[in-house]
A and B are shown apart, each in its own frame.
Chain A
Amino acid sequence: MTSPPETAGKPLGALAGVRVVELAQAPIAWAGKLLADMGADVILVEPPGGDPSRNYPPFVDDEPGQDRSLYWWHYHTSKRGVVVDLDAPAGRERFRALAATADVLLEAEPRRRLGELGLDYQDLKRIRPELVHVAVTPYGRNDPKSDLPYTDLTLMAASGPPWSCGYDDHTLPPIRGPLQGYHTASHFAVLSVLTALLHRGVGGSGQFIDVSMTAASNVTTEAATTTWLVSKRTVQRQTGRHASVSPSRETQQECADGRHANTGVPPRRPHEFAALLGWLEDLGLEAELPEAVFLTMGANWEGPFDLAKIGRDDEVTAIFGAGREALRLIASKVSAQDFFTGCQRAGLAVGVVNSPDEAFEDPHFRARGFHVPVHHDDRAGAVVYPGAPYVFKASPWAISRRAPRLGEHDAEVFGKLATR
């Protein structure tokens, strides 16, 4: 990694000029994309025949095909692709030549595989001392449990998230948020890469970094972990809200259109009661709410409420109860989207429960430029992709190219290496 290439007026991503070699494996594909979309030259190495995730659905027009997987398209934007057979001597030579040009090696191989091939960190650092080698395994490189077969589901079950997620009804299973185990591991892989590059940038050496996928989710469970570490108590899962040692009130509300909203923290400031009352009047609903009088009291309350009085002081309890009832009534009369925006305009942190595509189509994200057209040479129009997770002003995020076809950049990458 030297200084970034010259810009011809157009600002480059923060990682322009950083070369990352990624050995294709599903758990780290997201890490590679995060680096590639910030400008790194990510070279994705696949085995002959291609990485299995090329054949994951969904497919374009539902027709299977190695270059038709939308899963592949998403996770490998901005990367170049080469085929290297690590099981053949010539392939290993190619890989060494490639590694000799790399700033970062990102891999999630079985923990002993690279060592057996003579391609592990101790081998590669001889030819590339500044290499940052990030190895992602289920339990870390030193734990034999990393040899066990795994999927996103089993990793997450092992490391905590499902225990906290599900329904009040505990005859229903704990729930896993799909793919988030791989995503969380990838986030820590990226943080590690960037941290090691910064260290190198102030004169430090390359190094080997051991990322544990189960450890990553273990430290991504919020109160489940801290509650046990600090007070040796166990949280219990609840529908649509934080798992908790003691049950808490429901926060998920079905709205008039059958969709849901999360009501978050109920109103507790005078101006919030005032706004709620105004909204109720606008909708012509105050007659339907016998407790409306308490909203008026809440709106006219002097100074902040003493929240400790809820359940003890009749007046305060009635005011807060009226706030909840007003929200319930309004939700039953309006769509989840209108409930969301109406509550937010009243100053309440409420959210509509969108599906991913409903969220994607929301004008807010369009206005922020989240719909990103990407050119595909074999398609008539551009394909619209999800955009940047963060908006950089000087060194922008960008999708520089569609995901690579199998071996698409073999000649380009290895031709250059041969003439070095």
Chain B
Amino acid sequence: MAEALSAFRICDFTGQLAGAGATKWLASFGAEVIRIEDPVRRGRWDILRGAPPFVDERRGINLGGAFNNHNAGKYGITLNLRTARAKRILEQLIEVSDVVSENFAKGVMDRWGFGYERLREIKPDIIYVSNCGFGHTGPYSGFKTWGPIVQAVSGLTFTSGLPGREPAGWGYSYMDHTGAYFMAMAILLALVHRQRTGEGQWVDLACTEAALTLHGPALLDWTVNGRPTRREGKPHANRNQWPPMAPHGIYPCEGDDDWVAIACRDEDDWRRFAELVGESWCTEPAYENLVARLVAQDELDQLVGAWTRPRSKFDVETLLREAGVPVSAVMKPEERIDVDASTADFGLWPTVAHTEMGDVRVDGQPVRFSETDWSIARGGPCLGEHNVDVLTGLLGLSAEEVARLEEEGVL
């Protein structure tokens, strides 16, 4: 049983990935994470609830595959916060919680009467972590975002591309994942502080700002040297700037959209690579050292690509591995999940039991603790699935009262 965080209870308003991904970490280490959802809108604020992928032909708000993935191991209750009774129940829940977490737009918690000042009245040492695109202060704090918008504004979309073309950006919400990691860090850091001082606090997380911290060297190149990132020949995302390497890129292979990544870190890697390839260009003075190879990188990439092109990506991978050069096939989802044994060996795709979907594999955690490891076994909660468990077990209501509150539209 996961117990590292079993001392902590989270009153969790998060959803989608940027928020739900944060409390997923906590739940997998044993924290009691109780999701609060709106019964009137049937929990649809979290757009993933009823969204694909689906396990079969069934559709509905309890059947979204990504929702299950991001909410495994959490409890789910419904509270219609338009009613005074639901507000009172929420107050009782906050009184016995360590953390209130949310990733709404700025102002939503205030409108419900549960802004930080009120939370602190209810529980003086409460930890409140808010996560929104631009944070709760600053000129853009009212602006709306989702992952791709955060990535665009913060420079991550720009830096992922090829020169002379529009940005390629990210083919998924990297900053929803990463925003969730920063949010989980914020919650844990605030818990550490409270554990040692007894003091709660509010942490204001802005996903765009968190994303900006991921450009450190480029930003110092700007503030110290005045060099902008938008300049001729940049960005060239598959090349390496810090440190420069050549060859360094993703090259075409035989097959259906198959590619291989190759990186020569230093002269030793280059020598081994050149010996393996054994073509005439490998010994040309134009490529004899890093400085020369960097100058001639476009031509070099063409030559390397011509060498990889007729070969399968896994053949190239095997050859370069034997030669001791950093290499990897560009793995498709089915290859890294079902073919590369390393992920299954790590236990990276645990199967959860979801009340309506049945057994489904989900993302696990990429870490193993020797003493208090994570565990992900239960699927994401169906809407209001734990109303009875939580309200009777934790808050002392009777089962009859819960049934009545459900009938009255409070739950």
A complexed with B: yes
Residues of chain A within 8 A of B176, CB atoms compared:
222
- A228-B337, A386-B215 are contacts. A358–B230 as well, Cβ < 8 Å? yes
CA of A150 to CA of B269, assembled, Å: 11
Determine if B227 is an interface residue (Cβ-Cβ < 8 Å): yes
Determine if A126 is an interface residue (Cβ-Cβ < 8 Å): no
B154 lies within 8 A of A385 (CB): no
Task: Determine, out of B32-40, B281-289, B359-367, B402-410, the stretch whose residues face the partner at the interface.
Answer: B359-367
Choose from A143, A163, A260, A350 the contact partner of B149 (Cβ within 8 Å): A350
Determine if A140 is an interface residue (Cβ-Cβ < 8 Å): yes
Sampled A-B contacts (17; CB under 8 Å): A3-B196, A121-B370, A153-B248, A201-B192, A207-B370, A208-B369, A219-B364, A222-B66, A227-B65, A229-B337, A229-B362, A252-B169, A344-B140, A354-B158, A356-B218, A387-B209, A395-B193
Residues of chain B within 8 A of A394, CB atoms compared:
193, 199-201
Determine if B324 is an interface residue (Cβ-Cβ < 8 Å): yes
CA of A208 to CA of B368, assembled, Å: 8
B242 lies within 8 A of A174 (CB): no
Determine if A413 is an interface residue (Cβ-Cβ < 8 Å): no
Residues of A91-142 contacting chain B, CB below 8 A = 121, 139-140, 142
| Chain A nearest CB, measured from B350 CB (Å) | 10
Residues of chain A within 8 A of B195, CB atoms compared:
198, 201-202
| Chain A nearest CB, measured from B170 CB (Å) | 6
For chain B, the bracket of interface size reads 35 or more
A364 lies within 8 A of B138 (CB): yes
Residues of chain B within 8 A of A4, CB atoms compared:
196-197
B140 lies within 8 A of A215 (CB): no
Determine if B150 is an interface residue (Cβ-Cβ < 8 Å): yes
Residues of chain B within 8 A of A261, CB atoms compared:
152
Determine if B45 is an interface residue (Cβ-Cβ < 8 Å): no
B224 lies within 8 A of A60 (CB): yes
Choose from B138, B155, B166 the contact partner of A254 (Cβ within 8 Å): B166
- A177-B159, A240-B168, A354-B154 are contacts. A207–B346 as well, Cβ < 8 Å? no
| Chain A nearest CB, measured from B356 CB (Å) | 13
9 A-B pairs with the lowest CB-CB distances in the bound complex, closest first: A215-B366, A74-B216, A164-B171, A230-B65, A351-B152, A157-B261, A356-B155, A243-B171, A394-B201
Task: Determine, out of A186-194, A273-281, A294-302, A319-327, the stretch whose residues face the partner at the interface.
Answer: A186-194
Residues of B190-224 contacting chain A, CB below 8 A = 190-193, 195-197, 199-206, 208-210, 212-224
Determine if B345 is an interface residue (Cβ-Cβ < 8 Å): yes
Task: Determine, out of A51-59, A80-88, A283-291, the stretch whose residues face the partner at the interface.
Answer: A51-59
CA of A74 to CA of B326, assembled, Å: 26
| Chain B nearest CB, measured from A42 CB (Å) | 15
- A184-B178, A388-B209, A390-B205 are contacts. A365–B185 as well, Cβ < 8 Å? no
A164 lies within 8 A of B362 (CB): no
Determine if B189 is an interface residue (Cβ-Cβ < 8 Å): yes
For chain A, the bracket of interface size reads 35 or more
Residues of chain B within 8 A of A190, CB atoms compared:
185
When C-beta atoms are compared, the residue in chain A nearest to B150 turns out to be: A351
When C-beta atoms are compared, the residue in chain A nearest to B238 turns out to be: A176
When C-beta atoms are compared, the residue in chain B nearest to A173 turns out to be: B250
A389 lies within 8 A of B213 (CB): yes
B197 lies within 8 A of A356 (CB): no
When C-beta atoms are compared, the residue in chain A nearest to B136 turns out to be: A391
CA of A196 to CA of B251, assembled, Å: 41
A216 lies within 8 A of B250 (CB): no
B336 lies within 8 A of A160 (CB): yes
B174 lies within 8 A of A199 (CB): no
Choose from B53, B240, B367 the contact partner of A211 (Cβ within 8 Å): B367
CA of A59 to CA of B405, assembled, Å: 65
CA of A229 to CA of B340, assembled, Å: 14
B219 lies within 8 A of A357 (CB): yes
CA of A410 to CA of B78, assembled, Å: 57
A199 lies within 8 A of B259 (CB): no
| Chain B nearest CB, measured from A63 CB (Å) | 10
B68-97 contact mask (Cβ, 8 Å, vs A): 1 or 0: 110000000000000000000000000000
When C-beta atoms are compared, the residue in chain B nearest to A3 turns out to be: B196
A204-245 contact mask (Cβ, 8 Å, vs B): 1 or 0: 111111111111101111111111111111111111111100
Sample of 14 more A-B contacts, CB < 8 Å, known A199-B3, A252-B166, A390-B204: A57-B241, A74-B219, A143-B346, A154-B328, A157-B330, A167-B168, A184-B178, A187-B185, A220-B177, A222-B177, A229-B362, A234-B334, A351-B148, A386-B219
CA of A252 to CA of B266, assembled, Å: 38
CA of A235 to CA of B135, assembled, Å: 32
Residues of chain A within 8 A of B165, CB atoms compared:
167, 172
When C-beta atoms are compared, the residue in chain A nearest to B269 turns out to be: A149
Residues of chain A within 8 A of B201, CB atoms compared:
392-395
When C-beta atoms are compared, the residue in chain A nearest to B152 turns out to be: A351
- A14-B190, A216-B366 are contacts. A153–B146 as well, Cβ < 8 Å? no
CA of A368 to CA of B237, assembled, Å: 29
B242 lies within 8 A of A58 (CB): yes
| Chain B nearest CB, measured from A66 CB (Å) | 14
- A187-B178, A198-B4, A356-B218 are contacts. A192–B169 as well, Cβ < 8 Å? no
Determine if B375 is an interface residue (Cβ-Cβ < 8 Å): no
Choose from B145, B170, B217 the contact partner of A70 (Cβ within 8 Å): B217
Choose from A15, A58, A218 the contact partner of B343 (Cβ within 8 Å): A218
Determine if A23 is an interface residue (Cβ-Cβ < 8 Å): no
A242 lies within 8 A of B263 (CB): no
B189 lies within 8 A of A15 (CB): yes
Residues of chain B within 8 A of A70, CB atoms compared:
217, 220-221, 224-225
CA of A60 to CA of B334, assembled, Å: 45
CA of A162 to CA of B330, assembled, Å: 7
| Chain B nearest CB, measured from A372 CB (Å) | 10
Determine if A90 is an interface residue (Cβ-Cβ < 8 Å): no
**Which of the listed residues B143, B167, B192, B215 has the most CB atoms from chain A within 10 Å of its own CB?**
B192
B334 lies within 8 A of A228 (CB): yes
When C-beta atoms are compared, the residue in chain B nearest to A166 turns out to be: B168
Choose from B139, B192, B222, B349 the contact partner of A360 (Cβ within 8 Å): B222
A170 lies within 8 A of B257 (CB): yes
Determine if B162 is an interface residue (Cβ-Cβ < 8 Å): yes
CA of A385 to CA of B217, assembled, Å: 10
Determine if B325 is an interface residue (Cβ-Cβ < 8 Å): yes
CA of A53 to CA of B241, assembled, Å: 12
Determine if B381 is an interface residue (Cβ-Cβ < 8 Å): no
- A162-B261, A252-B169 are contacts. A55–B144 as well, Cβ < 8 Å? no
Residues of chain B within 8 A of A356, CB atoms compared:
154-155, 158-159, 212, 215, 218-219, 222, 229
A74 lies within 8 A of B261 (CB): no
Determine if B182 is an interface residue (Cβ-Cβ < 8 Å): yes
B172 lies within 8 A of A191 (CB): no
Residues of chain A within 8 A of B134, CB atoms compared:
364
B173 lies within 8 A of A365 (CB): no
Determine if B20 is an interface residue (Cβ-Cβ < 8 Å): no
Determine if A417 is an interface residue (Cβ-Cβ < 8 Å): no
Residues of chain B within 8 A of A160, CB atoms compared:
331, 333, 336
When C-beta atoms are compared, the residue in chain A nearest to B207 turns out to be: A389
B190 lies within 8 A of A392 (CB): yes
B174 lies within 8 A of A159 (CB): no
Determine if B29 is an interface residue (Cβ-Cβ < 8 Å): yes
Residues of chain A within 8 A of B232, CB atoms compared:
none
A385 lies within 8 A of B171 (CB): no
Residues of B256-281 contacting chain A, CB below 8 A = 257, 259-263, 265, 269
Residues of B173-187 contacting chain A, CB below 8 A = 173-174, 176-178, 181-186
